[in-house]
C-alpha cells in the first residue's frame, strides 16, 4: 500500500494552520490589552497607543479571515488534485495559441501563467481591502486606485519578461540530469539571487518609485562622515518617495564590494525630529554591514520543503532578532544610544506598530524584537557601563 503523501501534506498544512491560529489568538488577546507595557509608560503617548491598538486589531481581524480563506483554498486545490488537472488543461491552452505543447518549457510557462493569473484574481480583494480600507482608515495609504493597479500591471509585466528565461534555465538543468543536479540548481539559484540583488534596485525599483540624491546639507554630511569613519564604501545616497504610496517609513542599503548605496524613505526623514535620529537609524543599518549580518543572512537556507521550512523560518527569526540587538549595540558604541532610542520610539509611534505583543507569537513570527525588548537591551547596556 502506497504512502498517502497528498493526505499527509494536506494534514500537516491544516495542523500548522491551527497551531499558527492559536498563536494569532494569543497575539490578539495581547493587542486588546487596554494599557501600555510598563516599560513604555511615559515613553509612548496615550493617543498613539490607542491609535496603534485600533490599527493592530483591525489588521488582526483581517488576518484571521485571510488565513482561513487561504487554508481552505490551498487544501482544496491540493486534496482534489486541481494542479495536476490544470497541468493537463494548460497543454490544450498552449496548443490553442499556436505553440508546441510537447515542448516542456512552453507547457510549463503556460501552466505557470495560469497559476499567476489565478493568484492575482484570488488575492486582489484582500489587497484592495488591506490598502484602501485598513491602511486608509488609519491614515497610511497614500496611493490612488490607479496607482495600485498600475503597480500590479507593472509587476505582472516584469514577471512576464524575467520569468520565462529563469523557468527555461531550471528546466534545462533538470532535463540534463546529473548526480550533481542539486548542486547545479543551488549554484544557479545563488547566481540568480546575486543578479537580482544587483539589477532590482537599479532597473526594477525605479519603475515603481522615484530615487533622488539626498540634497547637500547637515544630514548628508553626518551620514557621509559616519560611513567614512567605518570605512563603508558609500557611493550614492538616495531619498525614495515612499510617501506616494504609504506613510510607513524605512531605510536600507544595497550594493556589492566598493559600490554601496544607502536609501532613505522620505517619510523617515519627515518623522524623525532631527538629523541625529536619522543618522542613528543609519548607524544601526551600518552595524548589520560591519558585523557581516547581510552575508550570513544571504547564505542561510531560504527555500526548503514542508515541514522543514517552518523550522528553518523559526531559526532564521531567532538569528535575525539576535542580529538586531547586535546592530543596536553597534550604534550605541558609536555614541547614538539616546538618538537611536528616540528614533525607535518615534518610528514605533508613527508606524502605529503593536505595543503589546504575546511572547510566543513574537518568538515564532517576528524577525525584529519588540520595542520593549530593544529599549530594555539599550538601557541595560547603559547601566552596565555606568
Give me the active site residues, please.
285, 328
Judged by phi (left if over 0) then psi (alpha if -120 to 50, else beta), residue 281 lies in: alpha
Instruction: Tell whether 293 is in a known binding site.
Output: no
* Residue carrying C-alpha cell 536609501: 263
Q: Are strands 234-240 and 211-213 parallel, antiparallel or unpaired?
A: antiparallel
Cis peptide before 84, with omega less than 30 degrees from 0? no
Is 284 assigned to a binding site? yes
Q: Is 324 annotated as a binding residue?
A: yes
Residues making up the binding site: 284, 288, 324
Annotated binding residues for Zn(2+), written as ranges, equal: 284, 288, 324
Amino acid at each position: 500500500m502506497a504512502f498517502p503523501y497528498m493526505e499527509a501534506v494536506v494534514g500537516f498544512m491544516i495542523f500548522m494552520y491551527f497551531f499558527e491560529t492559536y498563536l494569532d489568538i494569543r497575539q490578539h488577546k495581547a493587542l486588546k490589552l487596554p494599557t501600555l507595557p510598563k516599560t513604555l509608560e511615559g515613553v509612548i503617548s496615550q493617543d498613539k497607543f490607542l491609535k496603534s491598538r485600533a490599527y493592530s486589531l483591525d489588521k488582526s481581524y483581517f488576518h484571521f479571515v485571510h488565513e482561513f480563506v487561504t487554508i481552505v483554498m490551498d487544501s482544496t486545490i491540493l486534496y482534489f488534485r486541481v494542479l495536476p488537472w490544470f497541468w493537463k488543461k494548460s497543454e490544450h491552452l498552449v496548443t490553442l495559441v499556436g505553440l508546441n505543447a510537447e515542448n516542456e518549457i512552453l507547457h510549463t510557462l503556460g501552466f505557470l501563467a495560469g497559476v499567476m493569473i489565478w493568484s492575482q484574481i484570488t488575492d486582489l480583494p484582500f489587497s484592495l481591502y488591506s490598502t484602501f480600507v485598513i491602511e486608509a482608515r488609519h491614515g497610511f495609504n497614500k496611493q490612488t486606485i490607479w496607482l495600485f493597479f498600475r503597480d500590479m500591471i507593472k509587476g505582472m509585466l516584469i514577471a512576464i519578461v524575467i520569468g520565462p528565461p529563469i523557468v527555461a534555465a531550471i528546466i534545462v538543468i533538470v532535463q540534463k540530469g546529473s548526480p550533481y543536479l542539486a548542486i547545479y540548481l543551488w549554484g544557479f539559484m545563488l547566481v540568480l539571487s546575486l543578479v537580482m540583488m544587483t539589477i532590482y534596485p537599479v532597473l526594477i525599483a525605479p519603475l515603481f518609485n522615484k530615487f533622488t540624491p539626498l540634497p547637500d546639507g547637515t544630514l548628508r554630511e553626518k551620514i557621509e562622515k559616519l560611513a567614512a569613519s567605518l570605512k563603508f564604501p558609500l557611493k550614492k545616497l538616495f531619498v525614495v518617495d515612499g510617501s506616494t504610496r504609504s506613510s510607513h517609513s524605512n531605510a536600507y542599503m544595497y550594493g556589492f564590494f566598493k559600490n554601496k548605496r544607502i536609501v532613505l524613505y522620505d517619510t523617515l526623514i519627515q518623522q524623525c525630529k532631527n538629523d541625529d535620529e536619522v543618522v542613528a537609524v543609519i548607524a544601526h543599518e551600518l552595524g548589520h554591514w560591519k558585523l557581516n549580518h547581510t552575508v550570513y543572512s544571504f547564505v542561510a537556507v531560504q527555500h526548503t520543503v514542508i515541514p522543514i521550512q517552518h523550522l528553518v523560518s523559526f531559526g532564521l527569526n531567532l538569528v535575525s532578532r539576535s542580529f538586531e540587538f547586535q546592530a543596536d549595540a553597534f550604534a550605541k558604541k558609536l555614541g547614538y544610544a539616546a538618538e537611536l532610542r528616540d528614533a525607535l520610539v518615534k518610528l514605533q509611534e508613527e508606524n502605529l506598530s503593536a505595543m503589546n505583543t504575546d511572547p510566543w507569537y513574537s518568538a515564532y513570527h517576528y524577525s525584529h524584537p519588540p520595542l520593549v525588548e530593544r529599549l530594555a537591551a539599550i538601557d541595560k547596556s547603559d547601566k552596565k557601563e555606568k
